[in-house]
Structure 1
Amino acid sequence: MKKRINRSPKKVLPLSRARYVSSKIGKTKAVESVESLRKYVPSTMRMTKTSLEHMLNKYKMVYIKPNIGMCGNGVIRIELAGDDADLAYSYQSGVTRKRFKSFDDMFTSLHKLTRKRHYLVQKGIHLLTHKGNRFDLRVMVQQTPARTWETTGVIGRVAHPTKIVTNFHNGGTLKSVDTLLMRYLAPTERNKYVKQLHVMGVMVAKAINARYRGVKEVGVDIAVDKELNPWILEVNTSPDPYIFRRLTDKRIYAKIRRYAKAYGRL
């Protein structure tokens, strides 16, 4: 007589223990690995003296940012003026702006700020403005309790008048997408544009998850240029859900909170 074997049902892995990915260059490469997303990623590379000079000569305005960092801390904007300018090179860090006659002089000054961390250099995007201040968009994408990906919210972040970053925790102001885009797009076009951002957000989440298994949520920072082209600036794998409480439509934050609870974030 055969001994009966008790077979327990297969365990379903919990949605908790969401993975955090700190490397910006790693996440950028993950997004760039998807051909349909590649055109939306501004040229980005590890910063060296050579790569910075090359990018600045090519694009005239670039941003450098720590490979590992949050809330816009350490981000610096660098600009190259026309050839006839006496002080052709400049950079802004925080609220401080400095000008230089030569690239070497500027890099020496920059190196004092960046030498203890690994930095990236990224093509600068001239952002749309709201009442004279630059803004970008944060697209929140989450894994649902059914383990599919869904864009659950989009919110705008307006930079403080004296700063170059839009982050709320660095002095930025939160606004609805409709408020920010109403002067640029009619209501029907606006709705269509936001739907495209929803689709893009899910594609980005899948690209990140394909390389970094265990990611449960992403916050995609989207810049919109003067031709209304969207640009994927950065992907955060531990985005702040609480900023969405500022939206008038409370259903958005309620869903974000419900999904975040399902995978153990809240």
Structure 2
Amino acid sequence: MEPRHRLYVSSKWEKHSALMNELLLKDALPRMERLSLQSLRDLLEEFDTVYVKPEHGMGGRGVMKVSRSNKQLTLDQQGYPVRNFSTLQALYRVIRHRKRGRRYVAQQGIELIRNGDRLIDFRVLLMKPGSVWHCMGAMGKMAPPAQITTNRTRGGEPITVRHALATATDFDEDRIEKIEYELIAISRHVAGALSESYPGLRCLGLDLAVDQDGKVWLLEANTAPGVQLFKHHENDKLYAKISHFRRKINSRRRRRPNSKKKI
């Protein structure tokens, strides 16, 4: 299958590169670099927190959080004890061991809103059963206590967008409505931009964050997203509509040769 017409794009770096020159999205993209000792050093000189992620991967597996405080560096990853380091070289040796030869990216850390010690981010689902993208809806995801990812496969819990913003921030009603609008508006821009590079895409699950100042960020674009989260949406008819669109998309894919090929 011609690369432009792929149905799935798994590389975080490739998707980021396709979006980074979009003027309407420039301010919503955290800085991302291919992981190396030098790129990690550069990011930590600018930001207190950096997330290190597999370039190809999903579900929060393999994600590490690197934090800088004064002269101490901290490495946090689910399933491992938190470790402190006095030098970046020592920390990077541990990262290299854990990533086991896989390609990784390093991304600017965003200070997510939180409910107590539980981080919150958001998933917006867009589907394209025909020629037009449909924004199906948005949901919040709340991480387990003191964990670094919100993925449901890692213990995250669903929460409605409005409830998340109302309980995790002190924003007034007008500010909350503005953020809700921005979550959807940015998502529509992302879908349009990625379609320019990859017109074969039919489904997008966008992970977005709201920081402590109310700014909306795009964390990741998933091209083969799970949809179970939307069973918990306040619109109890939404999941049936999502399932209907999925059947239409799958039927369309079955009519295409090599439709399951991923690159």
Q: TM-score, normalised by structure 1?
A: 0.87
Q: Distance in 2 between matches of 1:245 and 1:233?
A: 23
Look up the equivalent residue of 2:158 and give its one-letter code: L
Which residue matches 1:24? Answer: 12
Match of 2:194, SS state, is: helix
Larger radius of gyration: 1
How far did residue 175 of structure 1 move?
0.6
Look up the equivalent residue of 2:126 and give its one-letter code: V
Q: Distance in 2 between matches of 1:18 and 1:259?
A: 19
Match of 2:17, SS state, is: helix
Q: Distance in 2 between matches of 1:159 and 1:52?
A: 25
Q: Distance in 2 between matches of 1:23 and 1:170?
A: 21
Alignment of 1:242-253 (within 5 A): 242-253=228-239
Which residue matches 1:160? Answer: 144
Please say if 1:63 is aligned against 2:51. yes
Match of 2:19, SS state, is: helix
Asked if the contact 1:135/1:166 (under 8 Å) is kept, the reply is: yes
Look up the equivalent residue of 1:33 and give its one-letter code: N
Match of 1:120, SS state, is: strand
Look up the equivalent residue of 2:187 and give its one-letter code: G
Alignment of 1:72-83 (within 5 A): 72-83=60-71
How far did residue 144 of structure 1 move?
4.2
When the two chains are superposed, the root-mean-square deviation of aligned CA atoms in Å is 1.8
Asked if the contact 1:65/1:75 (under 8 Å) is kept, the reply is: yes
Q: Distance in 1 between matches of 2:180 and 2:111?
A: 20
Q: Distance in 2 between matches of 1:164 and 1:236?
A: 19
User: Alpha carbons of 1:18 and 1:53: their partners in 2 closer, same or farther (altered >3 Å)?
Assistant: closer
Which residue matches 2:186? Answer: 200
Which residue matches 1:117? Answer: 102
How far did residue 193 of structure 1 move?
2.3
Q: Distance in 2 between matches of 1:18 and 1:114?
A: 27
How far did residue 188 of structure 1 move?
4.5
Which residue matches 2:226? Answer: 240
> Structure 1: any 5+ residue segments left out of the alignment?
1-16
Q: TM-score, normalised by structure 2?
A: 0.88
Match of 1:94, SS state, is: coil
Q: Distance in 2 between matches of 1:190 and 1:242?
A: 25
Q: Distance in 2 between matches of 1:195 and 1:264?
A: 30
Q: Distance in 2 between matches of 1:193 and 1:110?
A: 35
Please say if 1:261 is aligned against 2:247. yes
Question: For each residue in 1:185-234, what CA deviation from the matched residue of structure 2 results, as whole angstroms up to 9, or x when unmatched?
Answer: 34444333222221211110111111112000111110110001011111
Alignment of 1:26-41 (within 5 A): 26-41=14-29
How far did residue 165 of structure 1 move?
0.6
Decide which of 80, 84, 87 is 1:99's aligned counterpart. Answer: 84
Which residue matches 1:127? Answer: 112
Look up the equivalent residue of 2:229 and give its one-letter code: I
User: Alpha carbons of 1:193 and 1:137: their partners in 2 closer, same or farther (altered >3 Å)?
Assistant: same
Asked if the contact 1:18/1:264 (under 8 Å) is kept, the reply is: no
Which residue matches 2:123? Answer: 138
How far did residue 131 of structure 1 move?
3.4
Q: Distance in 1 between matches of 2:135 and 2:172?
A: 22
Asked if the contact 2:118/2:147 (under 8 Å) is kept, the reply is: no
Asked if the contact 1:18/1:263 (under 8 Å) is kept, the reply is: no
How far did residue 247 of structure 1 move?
2.0
Match of 2:246, SS state, is: helix
Please say if 1:179 is aligned against 2:167. no
Q: Distance in 2 between matches of 1:62 and 1:172?
A: 21
Q: Distance in 2 between matches of 1:42 and 1:248?
A: 30
